[in-house]
Amino acid sequence: MLRAQTGAEETAPAATSLTRARARVVVVEAPGAMDAFTPRPALIRRAFETGLTNLARAGAVAAAWEVFVKREDVVGVKVHCGPGPLSGTRPSVVEALVQSLLDTGHPADRIIIWDKHEEDLRRSGFLALGRRLGVSVQGAVEAGYDPHAFYDNALPGRLVWGDLEFRPGGNLMGRRSYVTRLLTRRITRVINVTPLLNHNLLGVSGCLFTLAYGSVDNTQRFAGNLDRLAVAVPEIYALPEVGDHVAFHLVDALVAQYAGEESSLLHYSAILNQLRFSTDPVALDVLSIQELARQRRRAGVPAEDVSLAPYHNASLLELGVSQPRAITLEKVRLKPGSRETTRSAASAAARESRPAPPPARQKR
Protein backbone atom coordinates (compact mmCIF):
# COMPACT_ATOMS: atom_id res chain seq x y z
CA MET A 1 0.00 0.00 0.00
CA LEU A 2 1.29 3.46 -0.84
CA ARG A 3 2.24 5.81 1.92
CA ALA A 4 1.32 9.44 1.49
CA GLN A 5 3.95 12.14 1.38
CA THR A 6 2.86 15.32 3.09
CA GLY A 7 4.36 18.55 4.35
CA ALA A 8 6.87 21.07 3.04
CA GLU A 9 9.56 18.46 2.41
CA GLU A 10 7.46 16.56 -0.11
CA THR A 11 9.29 15.56 -3.28
CA ALA A 12 8.17 14.05 -6.57
CA PRO A 13 8.65 10.33 -7.17
CA ALA A 14 11.91 9.22 -8.71
CA ALA A 15 11.97 9.25 -12.51
CA THR A 16 10.37 6.09 -13.88
CA SER A 17 8.54 5.04 -17.00
CA LEU A 18 5.46 6.64 -15.41
CA THR A 19 6.99 10.11 -15.33
CA ARG A 20 7.98 9.79 -19.03
CA ALA A 21 4.34 9.37 -20.01
CA ARG A 22 2.44 12.40 -21.27
CA ALA A 23 -1.11 13.55 -20.74
CA ARG A 24 -3.29 15.53 -23.12
CA VAL A 25 -5.80 18.13 -21.93
CA VAL A 26 -8.17 20.09 -24.19
CA VAL A 27 -9.39 23.44 -22.83
CA VAL A 28 -12.30 25.15 -24.61
CA GLU A 29 -12.75 28.85 -23.92
CA ALA A 30 -16.26 30.13 -24.59
CA PRO A 31 -16.45 33.89 -23.90
CA GLY A 32 -19.89 34.78 -22.58
CA ALA A 33 -20.88 31.23 -21.64
CA MET A 34 -21.68 32.57 -18.18
CA ASP A 35 -23.56 35.86 -17.87
CA ALA A 36 -23.26 37.03 -14.25
CA PHE A 37 -23.22 33.40 -13.07
CA THR A 38 -26.15 32.54 -15.34
CA PRO A 39 -25.33 29.89 -17.96
CA ARG A 40 -26.09 30.36 -21.66
CA PRO A 41 -27.11 26.86 -22.81
CA ALA A 42 -26.56 27.25 -26.55
CA LEU A 43 -23.01 28.48 -26.09
CA ILE A 44 -22.25 25.76 -23.54
CA ARG A 45 -23.52 23.15 -26.02
CA ARG A 46 -21.14 24.53 -28.66
CA ALA A 47 -18.27 24.52 -26.18
CA PHE A 48 -18.97 20.94 -25.15
CA GLU A 49 -19.13 19.57 -28.68
CA THR A 50 -16.02 21.50 -29.68
CA GLY A 51 -14.12 19.97 -26.77
CA LEU A 52 -15.47 16.49 -27.47
CA THR A 53 -14.45 16.53 -31.14
CA ASN A 54 -11.01 17.92 -30.31
CA LEU A 55 -10.42 15.33 -27.60
CA ALA A 56 -11.45 12.52 -29.95
CA ARG A 57 -9.65 14.12 -32.91
CA ALA A 58 -12.80 13.60 -34.92
CA GLY A 59 -14.37 15.72 -37.62
CA ALA A 60 -17.97 15.30 -36.44
CA VAL A 61 -19.79 15.02 -33.14
CA ALA A 62 -21.25 11.58 -33.84
CA ALA A 63 -17.83 10.24 -34.78
CA ALA A 64 -16.36 11.71 -31.61
CA TRP A 65 -18.94 9.98 -29.45
CA GLU A 66 -18.16 6.66 -31.14
CA VAL A 67 -14.58 6.93 -29.89
CA PHE A 68 -15.73 6.87 -26.27
CA VAL A 69 -19.06 5.00 -26.06
CA LYS A 70 -20.92 2.35 -28.02
CA ARG A 71 -24.64 2.16 -28.59
CA GLU A 72 -24.96 -0.81 -26.23
CA ASP A 73 -23.19 1.02 -23.38
CA VAL A 74 -25.08 2.24 -20.34
CA VAL A 75 -23.50 5.66 -19.88
CA GLY A 76 -23.28 6.97 -16.33
CA VAL A 77 -22.79 10.74 -16.15
CA LYS A 78 -21.21 11.23 -12.72
CA VAL A 79 -21.79 14.67 -11.22
CA HIS A 80 -20.71 16.37 -8.00
CA CYS A 81 -23.82 18.11 -6.75
CA GLY A 82 -23.32 18.33 -2.98
CA PRO A 83 -22.31 22.02 -3.19
CA GLY A 84 -25.49 22.87 -5.11
CA PRO A 85 -26.16 24.09 -8.67
CA LEU A 86 -24.02 27.24 -8.46
CA SER A 87 -20.76 25.74 -7.18
CA GLY A 88 -21.15 22.02 -7.93
CA THR A 89 -21.48 20.46 -11.38
CA ARG A 90 -23.82 22.73 -13.33
CA PRO A 91 -26.96 21.17 -14.81
CA SER A 92 -26.45 23.25 -17.96
CA VAL A 93 -23.17 21.45 -18.68
CA VAL A 94 -24.72 18.03 -18.09
CA GLU A 95 -27.71 18.96 -20.27
CA ALA A 96 -25.37 19.87 -23.12
CA LEU A 97 -23.55 16.55 -22.74
CA VAL A 98 -26.64 14.36 -22.48
CA GLN A 99 -28.55 16.13 -25.25
CA SER A 100 -25.53 15.79 -27.54
CA LEU A 101 -25.37 12.06 -26.82
CA LEU A 102 -29.12 11.66 -27.34
CA ASP A 103 -28.88 13.47 -30.67
CA THR A 104 -26.54 10.74 -31.94
CA GLY A 105 -29.32 8.23 -31.37
CA HIS A 106 -28.05 6.78 -28.10
CA PRO A 107 -31.05 5.30 -26.25
CA ALA A 108 -32.34 7.45 -23.39
CA ASP A 109 -32.84 4.35 -21.24
CA ARG A 110 -29.08 3.77 -21.45
CA ILE A 111 -28.12 7.07 -19.82
CA ILE A 112 -27.96 7.61 -16.04
CA ILE A 113 -27.08 10.86 -14.27
CA TRP A 114 -25.77 9.91 -10.85
CA ASP A 115 -24.08 11.00 -7.65
CA LYS A 116 -23.91 9.59 -4.15
CA HIS A 117 -27.19 10.94 -2.73
CA GLU A 118 -30.52 11.33 -4.51
CA GLU A 119 -31.45 14.30 -2.31
CA ASP A 120 -28.39 16.23 -3.53
CA LEU A 121 -29.39 15.43 -7.10
CA ARG A 122 -32.90 16.73 -6.46
CA ARG A 123 -31.68 19.88 -4.73
CA SER A 124 -29.31 20.71 -7.58
CA GLY A 125 -31.96 20.30 -10.26
CA PHE A 126 -30.84 17.00 -11.77
CA LEU A 127 -34.07 15.11 -11.09
CA ALA A 128 -35.95 17.80 -13.00
CA LEU A 129 -33.33 17.69 -15.76
CA GLY A 130 -33.65 13.93 -16.03
CA ARG A 131 -37.43 14.17 -16.41
CA ARG A 132 -37.04 16.79 -19.11
CA LEU A 133 -34.50 14.75 -21.08
CA GLY A 134 -36.15 11.40 -20.43
CA VAL A 135 -33.10 9.84 -18.75
CA SER A 136 -32.63 8.17 -15.37
CA VAL A 137 -31.24 10.02 -12.33
CA GLN A 138 -30.07 7.87 -9.42
CA GLY A 139 -28.18 8.06 -6.14
CA ALA A 140 -25.48 5.51 -5.33
CA VAL A 141 -26.80 5.09 -1.79
CA GLU A 142 -30.36 4.50 -2.95
CA ALA A 143 -29.17 2.00 -5.60
CA GLY A 144 -27.39 0.02 -2.89
CA TYR A 145 -23.91 -1.47 -2.64
CA ASP A 146 -22.45 -4.68 -4.01
CA PRO A 147 -21.22 -7.11 -1.31
CA HIS A 148 -18.80 -8.68 -3.80
CA ALA A 149 -16.94 -5.50 -4.83
CA PHE A 150 -15.15 -3.45 -2.20
CA TYR A 151 -12.07 -1.51 -1.12
CA ASP A 152 -10.41 -3.02 1.95
CA ASN A 153 -8.37 -0.75 4.19
CA ALA A 154 -7.04 -1.61 7.65
CA LEU A 155 -8.41 1.67 9.00
CA PRO A 156 -11.86 0.98 10.48
CA GLY A 157 -14.65 3.52 10.09
CA ARG A 158 -17.86 4.25 11.93
CA LEU A 159 -20.71 3.09 9.74
CA VAL A 160 -23.70 5.33 8.99
CA TRP A 161 -27.14 4.77 7.51
CA GLY A 162 -26.80 3.77 3.87
CA ASP A 163 -23.53 1.86 4.35
CA LEU A 164 -23.92 -1.80 3.37
CA GLU A 165 -22.78 -3.22 6.71
CA PHE A 166 -24.66 -0.73 8.88
CA ARG A 167 -27.08 -2.38 11.30
CA PRO A 168 -28.99 -0.28 13.86
CA GLY A 169 -27.94 -1.49 17.29
CA GLY A 170 -25.48 -3.92 15.69
CA ASN A 171 -22.15 -3.56 13.91
CA LEU A 172 -21.05 0.09 14.00
CA MET A 173 -17.51 -0.24 12.58
CA GLY A 174 -16.24 -1.50 9.24
CA ARG A 175 -13.00 -1.64 7.25
CA ARG A 176 -14.54 -2.22 3.82
CA SER A 177 -15.95 0.36 1.42
CA TYR A 178 -18.39 -1.33 -0.97
CA VAL A 179 -18.89 -0.22 -4.58
CA THR A 180 -22.33 1.00 -5.65
CA ARG A 181 -24.44 -1.41 -7.67
CA LEU A 182 -24.76 1.31 -10.28
CA LEU A 183 -21.19 0.53 -11.32
CA THR A 184 -21.22 -3.24 -10.83
CA ARG A 185 -24.62 -4.01 -12.36
CA ARG A 186 -25.78 -1.13 -14.59
CA ILE A 187 -23.23 1.36 -15.86
CA THR A 188 -20.62 0.27 -18.40
CA ARG A 189 -19.07 3.68 -19.26
CA VAL A 190 -18.61 6.68 -16.97
CA ILE A 191 -18.26 10.31 -17.95
CA ASN A 192 -17.12 12.17 -14.86
CA VAL A 193 -18.19 15.85 -14.75
CA THR A 194 -16.65 17.83 -11.89
CA PRO A 195 -16.71 21.51 -10.93
CA LEU A 196 -13.58 23.62 -10.56
CA LEU A 197 -13.97 23.86 -6.79
CA ASN A 198 -11.40 23.89 -4.02
CA HIS A 199 -11.01 21.16 -1.44
CA ASN A 200 -9.43 22.19 1.85
CA LEU A 201 -7.16 19.15 2.04
CA LEU A 202 -6.80 17.80 -1.50
CA GLY A 203 -6.62 21.21 -3.17
CA VAL A 204 -9.51 20.50 -5.54
CA SER A 205 -12.77 18.55 -5.43
CA GLY A 206 -11.63 17.05 -8.66
CA CYS A 207 -11.81 14.01 -10.89
CA LEU A 208 -10.11 11.55 -8.54
CA PHE A 209 -11.86 12.61 -5.35
CA THR A 210 -15.42 13.01 -6.64
CA LEU A 211 -15.52 9.69 -8.51
CA ALA A 212 -13.80 7.73 -5.73
CA TYR A 213 -15.93 9.17 -2.93
CA GLY A 214 -19.15 8.94 -4.88
CA SER A 215 -18.64 5.30 -5.85
CA VAL A 216 -18.26 3.60 -2.44
CA ASP A 217 -19.71 3.62 1.06
CA ASN A 218 -17.95 3.92 4.46
CA THR A 219 -15.95 7.01 3.48
CA GLN A 220 -16.29 8.87 6.79
CA ARG A 221 -13.10 7.18 8.02
CA PHE A 222 -11.01 9.10 5.49
CA ALA A 223 -12.57 12.55 5.89
CA GLY A 224 -10.56 15.31 7.50
CA ASN A 225 -7.19 13.56 7.23
CA LEU A 226 -4.87 14.22 4.29
CA ASP A 227 -2.69 11.17 4.89
CA ARG A 228 -5.72 8.88 4.71
CA LEU A 229 -7.19 10.62 1.69
CA ALA A 230 -3.85 10.58 -0.15
CA VAL A 231 -3.85 6.78 0.00
CA ALA A 232 -7.55 5.92 -0.17
CA VAL A 233 -8.69 8.20 -3.01
CA PRO A 234 -6.26 6.88 -5.66
CA GLU A 235 -6.70 3.29 -4.51
CA ILE A 236 -10.51 3.47 -4.67
CA TYR A 237 -10.35 5.06 -8.12
CA ALA A 238 -8.01 2.24 -9.20
CA LEU A 239 -10.60 -0.43 -8.44
CA PRO A 240 -11.57 -2.13 -11.72
CA GLU A 241 -15.25 -1.53 -10.91
CA VAL A 242 -14.57 2.22 -10.70
CA GLY A 243 -11.75 3.58 -12.86
CA ASP A 244 -11.95 0.99 -15.62
CA HIS A 245 -15.41 2.29 -16.59
CA VAL A 246 -14.24 5.84 -17.33
CA ALA A 247 -14.54 7.12 -20.90
CA PHE A 248 -13.29 10.65 -20.21
CA HIS A 249 -13.40 13.43 -17.66
CA LEU A 250 -14.90 16.89 -18.05
CA VAL A 251 -14.08 19.76 -15.70
CA ASP A 252 -16.86 22.33 -15.54
CA ALA A 253 -14.59 25.36 -15.35
CA LEU A 254 -17.22 27.91 -16.31
CA VAL A 255 -16.64 29.23 -12.80
CA ALA A 256 -13.65 28.64 -10.52
CA GLN A 257 -14.44 28.75 -6.80
CA TYR A 258 -11.15 29.00 -4.88
CA ALA A 259 -12.51 28.93 -1.30
CA GLY A 260 -15.48 27.43 0.48
CA GLU A 261 -15.25 23.74 -0.51
CA GLU A 262 -18.81 22.32 -0.15
CA SER A 263 -20.32 25.77 0.52
CA SER A 264 -21.37 27.97 -2.38
CA LEU A 265 -19.38 31.20 -1.98
CA LEU A 266 -19.63 33.16 -5.21
CA HIS A 267 -17.66 36.08 -3.74
CA TYR A 268 -14.68 33.69 -3.77
CA SER A 269 -15.27 32.77 -7.40
CA ALA A 270 -14.10 33.87 -10.83
CA ILE A 271 -15.83 33.31 -14.16
CA LEU A 272 -13.50 31.45 -16.55
CA ASN A 273 -15.98 30.35 -19.26
CA GLN A 274 -14.02 27.14 -19.83
CA LEU A 275 -14.65 23.44 -20.23
CA ARG A 276 -11.67 21.09 -19.80
CA PHE A 277 -11.48 17.58 -21.26
CA SER A 278 -9.08 14.67 -20.80
CA THR A 279 -8.86 10.93 -20.32
CA ASP A 280 -6.31 11.66 -17.58
CA PRO A 281 -7.91 12.56 -14.20
CA VAL A 282 -4.59 13.29 -12.51
CA ALA A 283 -3.49 15.83 -15.11
CA LEU A 284 -6.84 17.63 -14.90
CA ASP A 285 -6.66 17.77 -11.09
CA VAL A 286 -3.10 19.12 -11.09
CA LEU A 287 -4.05 21.83 -13.59
CA SER A 288 -7.13 22.67 -11.50
CA ILE A 289 -4.99 23.13 -8.40
CA GLN A 290 -2.74 25.50 -10.35
CA GLU A 291 -5.74 27.45 -11.65
CA LEU A 292 -7.26 27.86 -8.18
CA ALA A 293 -3.92 29.10 -6.85
CA ARG A 294 -3.75 31.60 -9.72
CA GLN A 295 -7.25 32.91 -8.95
CA ARG A 296 -6.37 33.30 -5.25
CA ARG A 297 -3.36 35.43 -6.18
CA ARG A 298 -5.46 37.62 -8.47
CA ALA A 299 -8.04 38.11 -5.72
CA GLY A 300 -5.43 38.85 -3.07
CA VAL A 301 -6.52 35.84 -1.03
CA PRO A 302 -3.83 34.13 1.07
CA ALA A 303 -2.22 31.17 -0.64
CA GLU A 304 -2.99 27.64 0.51
CA ASP A 305 -0.31 25.01 1.10
CA VAL A 306 -1.55 22.18 -1.11
CA SER A 307 0.14 18.77 -0.95
CA LEU A 308 0.46 16.93 -4.24
CA ALA A 309 0.93 13.61 -2.43
CA PRO A 310 -2.46 12.20 -3.55
CA TYR A 311 -1.61 12.96 -7.19
CA HIS A 312 1.91 11.52 -6.99
CA ASN A 313 0.39 8.41 -5.45
CA ALA A 314 -2.13 8.26 -8.29
CA SER A 315 0.74 8.40 -10.79
CA LEU A 316 2.43 5.49 -9.04
CA LEU A 317 -0.79 3.53 -9.59
CA GLU A 318 -0.61 4.54 -13.27
CA LEU A 319 -3.85 6.51 -13.09
CA GLY A 320 -2.34 9.51 -14.87
CA VAL A 321 0.36 12.15 -14.96
CA SER A 322 1.10 14.39 -11.97
CA GLN A 323 4.05 16.33 -13.43
CA PRO A 324 2.85 19.56 -15.09
CA ARG A 325 5.74 19.51 -17.57
CA ALA A 326 4.39 16.21 -18.91
CA ILE A 327 0.96 17.64 -19.73
CA THR A 328 0.21 18.80 -23.27
CA LEU A 329 -2.34 21.61 -23.08
CA GLU A 330 -4.43 22.34 -26.19
CA LYS A 331 -6.51 25.51 -26.01
CA VAL A 332 -9.48 26.13 -28.29
CA ARG A 333 -11.28 29.48 -28.27
CA LEU A 334 -14.79 29.81 -29.68
CA LYS A 335 -15.27 32.72 -32.03
CA PRO A 336 -18.37 34.78 -31.21
CA GLY A 337 -21.23 34.01 -33.57
CA SER A 338 -19.39 31.22 -35.36
CA ARG A 339 -18.96 27.49 -34.98
CA GLU A 340 -15.35 27.79 -36.11
CA THR A 341 -12.56 27.43 -33.59
CA THR A 342 -8.92 28.30 -33.32
CA ARG A 343 -6.70 25.40 -32.41
CA SER A 344 -3.27 25.03 -30.93
CA ALA A 345 -0.63 23.84 -33.34
CA ALA A 346 -0.37 20.58 -31.42
CA SER A 347 -4.09 19.95 -31.79
CA ALA A 348 -4.15 20.72 -35.51
CA ALA A 349 -1.14 18.53 -36.24
CA ALA A 350 -2.66 15.63 -34.33
CA ARG A 351 -6.09 15.83 -35.97
CA GLU A 352 -5.62 12.79 -38.19
CA SER A 353 -4.10 10.55 -35.52
CA ARG A 354 -6.06 8.27 -33.22
CA PRO A 355 -6.77 9.50 -29.68
CA ALA A 356 -4.42 8.32 -26.98
CA PRO A 357 -6.03 5.65 -24.81
CA PRO A 358 -6.56 6.27 -21.09
CA PRO A 359 -3.37 5.75 -19.06
CA ALA A 360 -2.45 2.09 -18.60
CA ARG A 361 -3.15 0.71 -15.17
CA GLN A 362 -1.43 -2.05 -13.28
CA LYS A 363 -3.48 -5.10 -12.29
CA ARG A 364 -4.89 -5.00 -8.79
Question: What digits encode the pLDDT tens for the residues 160-218?
Answer: 889 999 988 776 899 999 999 999 999 999 999 999 999 999 999 999 999 999 999 99
How far is it, in rounded angstroms, from Cα 20 to Cα 103? 39
SS3 135: coil
Q: Give CA angle at 54 (48, 55), nearest 5°.
A: 90
Q: What is the pLDDT of residues 142-156, one digit of tens each?
A: 999 999 999 999 888
Could you tell me whether strands 136-139 and 23-29 are parallel, antiparallel, or unpaired per DSSP bridges? unpaired
Report DSSP letters for 190-231, one per residue: EEEEEEEE--TTTSS--HHHHHHHHHBS--TTTTT-HHHHHH
Q: E strand or H helix at 292, and its extent?
A: helix 281-299
Q: What is the pLDDT of residues 217-269, one digit of tens each?
A: 999 999 989 999 999 999 999 999 999 999 999 999 999 999 877 777 888 99
How far is it, in rounded angstroms, from Cα 347 to Cα 335? 17
Residue type, 138: Q
Dihedrals phi, psi of 197, to nearest 5 degrees: -135, 135
How far is it, in rounded angstroms, from Cα 246 to Cα 278? 11
- The pTM assigned to this predicted structure is 0.86
How far is it, in rounded angstroms, from Cα 282 to Cα 51? 18
